[in-house]
Amino acid sequence: MKAAKPIIWNGIIREFQEFLPKVKDDNVVTLREGNTPLIEAVNMEGIFESGLKIFLKYEGLNPTGSFKDRGMTMAVSKAKEDGSHAIICASTGNTSAAAAAYAARGGLRAYVLIPEGKIALGKLSQAMMHGATVIQIQGNFDDALAIVKEVSKTYPVTLVNSINPYRIEGQKTAAFEICNQLGFAPTYHFLPVGNAGNITAYWKGYKEFKEKGIIKTLPKMMGFEAEGAAPIVMGRPVKNPETVASAIRIGNPSSWEAAVKARDESGGAIDMVSDDEIIYAYKLLAREGVFCEPASAASLAGVIKIHKKGIFKNGDMIVCTLTGHGLKDPDTAIKSSEKPVTVPPDLEKVVKVLGFKP
C-alpha cells in the first residue's frame, strides 16, 4: 500500500510569496483561493477552425465563486496587518461576496454597498449569509463607489475595491498560474472589463513573469466591455450603464488608465460585445460543461468577434478568463435555457417526451 500523497495548495499569498507584498504569516486570511483549472475548449470546432486553441481559466471555482477572492485575500490580510477592524466596498456583487467571506474568516466587519435590485441573487445571498452589513443604494455601482471612497477617507474602515493596490497584487496571480499551466504565456488573453482592475492585474502578472525570465513572450491583452456599459470604448463615462452582464455594468471604471496602458503596451484591444453576443457565448460555454456567469462570457464573445475579423493565425493560443461561476446568477441561466417539460407521473408520457417510441 502506498501512503496517501498530500496535495496541498496554501492559497495565493503563501504560494506566490516571492511575487507579492510581504504579509506576516499570522495575518494571512485565506480560503485557499487560486489554483483554478485551465480547461481546453473541445466542443467549439464548428465555430473556430482547428488549429486555434482556446483555454478557459475557470475562476468561478474560487472559494466564493469568482476571481475577486485572489484580490480579497491580499486586501483583507493587509487590512488585518494594519490593525483595521472593518472593510468597506461598493460592488456589482462578487466583490461584496468575497469581502463578506474573507472578513468573516479574518474576524473583521464588512460593509458593502450595492446597487438596489441590480445584483445577481447568488451574490446577494453570499454577502448576507456571511454577515456583512448590506446597504442597497438607489443608484448604480458608480454612485456606490463614490460614497465608499468618501466613507473610507473619514472613518476607520479599509476600502477593498480594486483601487486598493493589494487587490491588483492578488489578482495578478491568475496570470502566473496560466503561465505555469501552459508552460508559456498565451498569444492572446481575453477577459471581460468592468472596473478594469483585472485586465490591469493580469498585465502586471505577465510582465513580472517576463522580467524574471519565467516566460519569454507576452500576450496581447484583449478586454471586452458590454455595449451598454462601454466607457473605455466610447472614450467617455457612461451615465446609466445597462447590460445583462451585471458584473460589468460599470460606467466609469476606476482602473481606466491602467487598462488602456495594458492594451497599448501589449498591442491588444479593448472592444465591446452586445448582450446577445454575451448570451450566445454563455450558452456555448455551457456546452463545454463549463457554467460561468454572463459577464464572464464576454471574454469568449470577444474571441468570436475577433475571429470573424480574421485576425487569428493557426497555432494561436487563446486564454479566456471566466471570471465568475454560473450559479451566481440563476435567473439569467433559467431565462436563457429551455424550460423543463411537466408531465404526470406516467411512464408512457415520459418516454414520449424523451423521443422514444412508446
Nearer Cβ to ligand PLP, position 60 or 186? 60
Distance, in Å, from the CA atom of 230 to the CA atom of 252, rounded to the nearest integer, reads: 9
Q: What single letter denotes the amino acid at residue 129? A: M
CB of 273 to ligand PLP, least distance (A): 13
User: Is 173 near ligand PLP (CB under 6 A)?
Assistant: no
User: Is 56 near ligand PLP (CB under 6 A)?
Assistant: no
CB of 3 to ligand PLP, least distance (A): 40
Q: How many C-beta atoms lie closer than 10 Å to residue 187's C-beta? A: 18
Could you tell me how far CA 193 lies from the centroid of its own chain?
A: 9
One of 295, 297, 300, 318 touching ligand PLP (CB under 6 A)? 295
User: Is 196 near ligand PLP (CB under 6 A)?
Assistant: yes
User: Is 162 near ligand PLP (CB under 6 A)?
Assistant: yes
Spatial contact of 29 and 80, defined as CB atoms under 8 Å apart: yes
CB of 78 to ligand PLP, least distance (A): 18
Nearer Cβ to ligand PLP, position 41 or 298? 298
Nearer Cβ to ligand PLP, position 11 or 194? 194
One of 13, 39, 54, 68 touching ligand PLP (CB under 6 A)? 68
Nearest CA among 33, 23, 41 for reference residue 62: 33
Nearer Cβ to ligand PLP, position 188 or 282? 282
Residues 77-136 that bind ligand PLP (CB under 6 A): 94
Residue showing cell 454597498:
113
Which residue's CB atom is positioned nearest to ligand PLP?
A: 324
Residues 296-315 that bind ligand PLP (CB under 6 A): 296
User: Is 243 near ligand PLP (CB under 6 A)?
Assistant: no
Residue range at the interface with ligand PLP (CB under 6 A); choices 10-18, 19-27, 193-201, 308-316 = 193-201
Provide the 8-state DSSP code for 114.
Answer: E
List CB contacts of 154: < 8 A, sequence separation 6 or more: none
List CB contacts of 194: < 8 A, sequence separation 6 or more: 92, 225, 229, 247, 248, 249, 250, 253, 295
Helical segments of the chain, H only: 12-15, 68-81, 94-106, 121-129, 141-154, 165-171, 173-182, 197-211, 231-234, 256-266, 275-287, 294-308, 330-335, 347-354
C-alpha cell at 351: 418516454
Nearer Cβ to ligand PLP, position 193 or 320? 193
Residue range at the interface with ligand PLP (CB under 6 A); choices 8-16, 195-203, 270-278, 281-289 = 195-203
User: Is 193 near ligand PLP (CB under 6 A)?
Assistant: yes
Q: What angle do CA 278, 282, 286 make, to 5 degrees?
A: 170
Nearest CA among 35, 120, 36, 105 for reference residue 72: 105
CB of 31 to ligand PLP, least distance (A): 16
Residue range at the interface with ligand PLP (CB under 6 A); choices 26-34, 132-140, 186-194, 228-236 = 186-194
What secondary structure does DSSP assign to 193-215, as a single string? -SSSHHHHHHHHHHHHHHHTTS-
Which positions from 315 to 344 touch ligand PLP by CB under 6 A, shown as an x/- string? --------xx--------------------
Chain residues that interact with ligand PLP, rule: CB under 6 A: 66, 68, 94, 162, 192-198, 247-248, 293, 295-296, 323-324
